[in-house]
Structure 1
Amino acid sequence: MANSSSPEAPIPVGKVSALIGGWIDRLGEVWVEGQIAQLNRRPGAGMVFLTLRDPDRDVSLTVTCFRSVFDQVAEVVQEGSRVLVHAKAEWYTARGSLSLRAAEIRPIGLGELLARLEQLKKRLAGEGLFAADRKRPLPFLPHRIGLVTGRGSAAERDVLEVARRRWPAVRFEVRNVLVQGPSAAGQVAAAVRELDALAEVDVIVVARGGGSVEDLLPFSDEELIRTVAAARTPVVSAIGHEPDQPLLDFVADLRAATPTDAAKRVVPDVGEELARVHQLRDRARRHITGRVEREQAGLEGVRSRPVLAAPHRLVEGPAAEVRALLERSRRVLGHRLDHAQTDLGHTLARVVALSPLATLERGYAVLQRADGMVVTDPAGVAAGERLHARVAAGAFEVTRAQDAGGRVGDEQATRGQDADGQD
């Protein structure tokens, strides 16, 4: 190229850029190690942009990758992380810039370890081992607590002292195991299974006093995680750490920040409970007293009403009305009886005036034949026929007399005969 160019025959910039691009294409795919100096993930963008620098030299390269490639390590990779990038060099002819198109990103050292843990976490979460509906509530007052921790450790001392100070009657079933090293996970899992088999153990606490990520690896072991998930007894994770969480925290029924916090969460404080009992008792007393006072006030209000304060008033009014009606009825009845008596007297007087007896008292008599028929015509009476005569003072029998010529006499003759004493 140098031979084919001269001041008199220079090469255009575009052709030089194209020649550089051809040389770079021959490089192919390479593995590049470096440190992420800058990370740019734009929301919604399909590409992620990184600046990869050499920690030993002041050299950096731009790296681009699809978001799906970066998402595989997004949980364990950040600015400052050391990574291995499998990429292909790309030359942008128009801009004359070089970048690497990454097809795979691998964390180095601790990052690689965290990446494996993240993959295990996703797999176990996919099986539902971390689901919230699997979490069981802790008993209010456990009679016996299972404790899995290191022998003579500060975590064991903190849990025992704090728990007994809060509730002196609490009892522990302690299992001392290794909490660090290759065999620690197996020992912790075996201790959990042993305590879970004891019916008197109400809750199990797995405690450790913190440490580095490498020290806490046993508490992310798959065997331990599945053992805790299968336990029938509620399990509390009490690993003294904050920045990183072992997988035990996700599968446990309760995560405590420290062993001391675990003791406070598992065992109630006797002083606080007594105070709560006193508060509830006072609250109940106030409630009952207030209820009784309200009911008593209501009862007094009801008793003060006229209907209960002077119940006889309800009877006095109707009684007066009854008495008034009774007097009125008596007056009305008396007036009607008097009126009826007067009418009866008038009727009686009329009846007496119209009575045949009154006529008889004026000297008249009523003659009746033997068959009871009243004699109204002298011609209808035969001579010598006996008649029944009724007068005012009584009755007597009479006989019709005959005259000298054999004829019945007239009324005067008959009266004369009566006067002479004849029947």
Structure 2
Amino acid sequence: MPLETSAEHPAPLRQVSQLVEGYVGRLGAIWVEGQVTEVNRRSGVCFLTLRDLLATVSISVTCRSAVLDASPAPITEGSRVVVHAKPTFYLPTGRLSLEAREIRPVGEGELLARLERRKQLLAAEGLFDPALKKRLPVLPRGIGLITSEGSAAERDVLENARERWPGVRFVVRHAVMQGSSSAQAVIDALGRLGSDASVDVIVIARGGGSIEDLLPFSDEALIRAVYACPTPVVSAIGHEPDSPILDLVADFRASTPTDAAKRVVPDVREELLRVAAMRDRALQAVRARIEHELHGLAQLRSRPVLARPQSVVDAEAVIVSDARRRAQSSLRHRLDREGDTVGHHLARVRSLSPLATLERGYAVAQRADGSVITTLDQVPEEFGVRLADGSVEVKKLSTKEIPHA
């Protein structure tokens, strides 16, 4: 029955501990798998620390010395074992432990089979999908290196990379690369390098070893950390035959630490040769293009229109000159014809002009306002007479009506 508790009615700690003790006590003996990280013998009793193979979980194990001695192979720190034990809960300290009744070392074949099953489960989740692999930078600004301090792997990566590209910059994070704490140490270093914006690629390097030595690099937590890392990761664990699960999730797998150095930076000598070759090809291409254009220019210049370009101007000048002469001739002819027409119209206008009539001896009588006097009754006392060369002011003395013939 679950405890009914509240802030006002809490359960005593002893009651909770007793319930846990009772629950653990009802558990039967179980088989568990793990790695022995500590072994102590005291007066016929052995105290061991058992760690999970792929996680940072540990538990204390006690057994009689006879149980440990009955193992078909020596049990030492780092051994992979399966233990038949009964869980116990020590009430005074609230400590959970296992009371071992049998301890069996795990053989290499069985270990490989378990790793293969774990590999298949991770592959089913898509952690090894090639489409998710990130490309390595051509020339990284900074390279993160996770390895053990002073190791041959560290020396191989640094020396070979700097020999290939002297200006390469490394950010080295040392970590334990073997044992129960190795996986977590690598995860911590990976987290620091993955958050460093100046690091463009991360190399995890370690020398060769047995399957047990390389087991931390198949740790599930480490595999998931590499999968989630935003920076490309290169796995350089062991030698060519070694294949921890880290090789499958990494963005690139190097056969050795030396191979990793060759993969993350280019060879400056090879690059200089490529630059020189590209420069030569570019120079040849430019020269060929110039020669082609010069040949085309020579062909153009050999054409008559460009050999004597003034000939085109001369031909056009003749056309313009002819057009000009025709225009001048047409204009003179038109002016002469229009001049004759104007003379005819002028003669006609002059013949119809009142002034011409006056020049023939006629005169025009006009009142002061300029109106013409045509009848006797329109004649005022004083009026003007318009002559051909002027006008005369006259006074009416008398009038005489002349009948029409």
Q: TM-score, normalised by structure 1?
A: 0.49
Does 2:302 align with 1:304?
yes
Q: Which residue of structure 2 aligns with residue 135 of structure 1?
A: 133
Distance 1:177 1:141 in 2: 25
> Given the superposition, is the C-alpha separation of residues 322 and 188 from structure 1 closer, same or farther in structure 2, using an over 3 Å criterion?
closer
After superposition, what is the alpha-carbon deviation per residue over 1:346-392, rounded to whole angstroms, capped at 9, x for unaligned? xxxxxxxxxxxxxxxxxxxxxxxxxxxxxxxxxxxxxxxxxxxxxxx
Does 2:155 align with 1:154?
no
Map 1:279-318 → 2, pairs under 5 A: 279-314=277-312
Q: Equivalent of 2:231, from 230, 233, 237? A: 233
Q: Equivalent of 1:115, from 102, 113, 116? A: 113
Q: Equivalent of 1:247, from 245, 248, 260? A: 245
Q: Is the CA contact (8 Å cut-off) linking 2:141 and 2:200 kept in structure 1?
A: yes
Q: Which residue of structure 1 aligns with residue 193 of structure 2?
A: 195
Map 1:164-179 → 2, pairs under 5 A: 164-179=162-177
Does 2:190 align with 1:181?
no
> Given the superposition, is the C-alpha separation of residues 226 and 308 from structure 1 closer, same or farther in structure 2, using an over 3 Å criterion?
same
Amino acid in the other structure paired with 1:140: V
Instruction: Please state how far the C-alpha of 1:282 moved relative to its aligned partner.
Output: 2.1
- SS of the aligned residue for 2:204 comes to strand
Amino acid in the other structure paired with 1:208: R
Amino acid in the other structure paired with 1:172: F
Distance 1:277 1:188 in 2: 39
Larger RCO of the pair (alpha carbons < 8 Å, separation 6+): 2
> What are structure 1's unaligned runs of at least 5 residues?
1-107, 330-423
Distance 1:322 1:127 in 2: 88
Distance 2:153 2:318 in 1: 93
Amino acid in the other structure paired with 1:263: A
Map 1:346-357 → 2, pairs under 5 A: none
Instruction: Please state how far the C-alpha of 1:325 moved relative to its aligned partner.
Output: 11
Amino acid in the other structure paired with 1:266: V
Instruction: Please state how far the C-alpha of 1:267 moved relative to its aligned partner.
Output: 1.4
Instruction: Please state how far the C-alpha of 1:274 moved relative to its aligned partner.
Output: 2.1
Distance 2:287 2:265 in 1: 34
Distance 1:322 1:195 in 2: 84
> Given the superposition, is the C-alpha separation of residues 302 and 117 from structure 1 closer, same or farther in structure 2, using an over 3 Å criterion?
same
Distance 1:204 1:322 in 2: 82
Distance 2:322 2:131 in 1: 83
Amino acid in the other structure paired with 2:175: V
- SS of the aligned residue for 1:207 comes to strand
Q: TM-score, normalised by structure 2?
A: 0.51
> Given the superposition, is the C-alpha separation of residues 326 and 270 from structure 1 closer, same or farther in structure 2, using an over 3 Å criterion?
closer
Instruction: Please state how far the C-alpha of 1:176 moved relative to its aligned partner.
Output: 1.8
Q: Which residue of structure 1 aligns with residue 220 of structure 2?
A: 222
- SS of the aligned residue for 2:221 comes to helix
After superposition, what is the alpha-carbon deviation per residue over 1:50-75, rounded to whole angstroms, capped at 9, x for unaligned? xxxxxxxxxxxxxxxxxxxxxxxxxx
Residue identity over aligned pairs, in percent, reads: 62
Distance 2:127 2:190 in 1: 17
Q: Is the CA contact (8 Å cut-off) linking 2:208 and 2:242 kept in structure 1?
A: no
Distance 2:315 2:172 in 1: 87
After superposition, what is the alpha-carbon deviation per residue over 1:43-101, rounded to whole angstroms, capped at 9, x for unaligned? xxxxxxxxxxxxxxxxxxxxxxxxxxxxxxxxxxxxxxxxxxxxxxxxxxxxxxxxxxx
Amino acid in the other structure paired with 1:120: R
After superposition, what is the alpha-carbon deviation per residue over 1:244-301, rounded to whole angstroms, capped at 9, x for unaligned? 4111111111111111111111112222222222222222222222212211211111
Q: Which residue of structure 2 aligns with residue 54 of structure 1?
A: none
Distance 2:138 2:127 in 1: 24
Map 1:22-421 → 2, pairs under 5 A: 109-314=107-312
The Cα RMSD (Å) is 2.8
Larger Rg: 1
- SS of the aligned residue for 1:287 comes to helix
> What are structure 2's unaligned runs of at least 5 residues?
1-105, 327-405
Does 292-301 or 316-325 show the bigger shift?
316-325
Amino acid in the other structure paired with 1:230: A
